[in-house]
């Protein structure tokens, strides 16, 4: 939060203009639309949108450990599947691990691979051991009970199992759909900016029923 606030302090933009940018951002307008509506230079608008997204990312990363009914899954963003490259983590894609608390929030993290050590390190840091874990049949989820999570339920998508009563991962899969549909409008982006856009998706999904503008004012610690 401090870095973002210092950037604002050093700028020549008025508080009124910054509030305009923030309000239009909360309404999910594009940088081009915000540029026209505010009359500001496109580079200036982009700079403040980056500031806002960085503040959102810091806020999302600070969320407390999850507890309760938890769904785990991983998804792949970016490059189209290359012919001959199959399996989880198709070549050229960015891998994202997701944790979803039912009737609550989602948390995402970009990972280098879907190995058991990689996913379990995040799981142990973000999910309370008393939680009930729901996953699909991916082999990296084998042995979750050995980490201290005594309740682990799975659905095997390869056998056309998608929901058995309350045993499913529909919540996290719903987020993946939300994020991918939203990111399509950018018509591609640099890998260096993907993290910020991913965290923005996470934030918008978690607070989709609330006043984003008011929440953003608090997150940025705007005076």
What's the domain count of the chain?
A: 2
Strand segments, DSSP code E, in 42-162 are 69-78, 93-101, 106-111, 132-136, 151-155
Using a cut of 0.85, tell me whether the model's pTM lies above it: yes
Domain hosting residue 48, numbered range: 2-62+204-219
CATH number at residue 153: 3.30.420.10
Q: Are residues 35 and 77 in the same domain?
A: no
For residue 188, is it within any domain?
no
Task: Give the pairing type, strands 106-111 and 132-136.
Answer: unpaired
Own/partner pairs for 185-189, CB < 8 Å, 24+ apart? 185/30
pLDDT in tens, the chain (223 residues): 445 444 555 567 888 999 999 999 999 999 999 999 999 999 999 999 999 999 999 999 988 789 999 999 999 998 654 444 435 546 678 999 999 999 999 999 999 999 999 999 999 999 999 999 999 988 999 999 999 998 999 887 555 555 566 778 999 999 999 999 999 887 767 788 999 999 999 999 999 999 999 999 999 876 5
Q: Are residues 117 and 52 in the same domain?
A: no
Q: What is 43-71 written as a DSSP string?
A: HHHHHHHHHHHHHHHHHHHTPPPB-SEEE
For residue 182, is it within any domain?
no
What CA–CA distance (Å, rounded) separates 99 from 75? 11
């Amino acid at each position: 939060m401090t870095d973002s606030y210092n950037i604002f302090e050093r700028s020549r933009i008025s508080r009124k203009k910054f509030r305009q940018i923030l309000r239009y951002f909360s309404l999910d307008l594009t940088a081009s639309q915000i540029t026209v509506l505010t009359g500001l230079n496109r580079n200036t608008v982009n700079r403040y949108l980056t500031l806002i997204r960085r503040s959102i990312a810091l806020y999302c990363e600070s969320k407390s450990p999850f507890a309760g009914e938890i769904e785990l899954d991983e998804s792949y963003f970016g490059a189209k599947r290359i012919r001959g490259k199959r399996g989880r983590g198709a070549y050229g894609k960015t891998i994202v691990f997701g944790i979803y608390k039912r009737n609550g929030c989602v948390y995402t993290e970009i990972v280098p691979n879907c190995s058991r050590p990689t996913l379990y390190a995040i799981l142990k840091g973000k999910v309370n051991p008393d939680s009930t874990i729901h996953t699909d049949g991916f082999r990296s989820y084998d042995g979750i009970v050995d980490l201290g999570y005594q309740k682990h339920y799975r659905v095997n998508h390869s056998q056309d199992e998608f929901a058995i009563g309350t045993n499913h991962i529909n919540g996290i899969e719903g987020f993946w759909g939300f994020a991918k549909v939203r990111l399509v409008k950018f018509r591609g982006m640099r890998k260096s900016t993907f993290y910020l856009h991913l965290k923005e998706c996470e934030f918008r999904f978690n607070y989709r029923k609330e006043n984003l503008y008011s929440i953003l004012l608090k997150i940025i610690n705007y005076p």
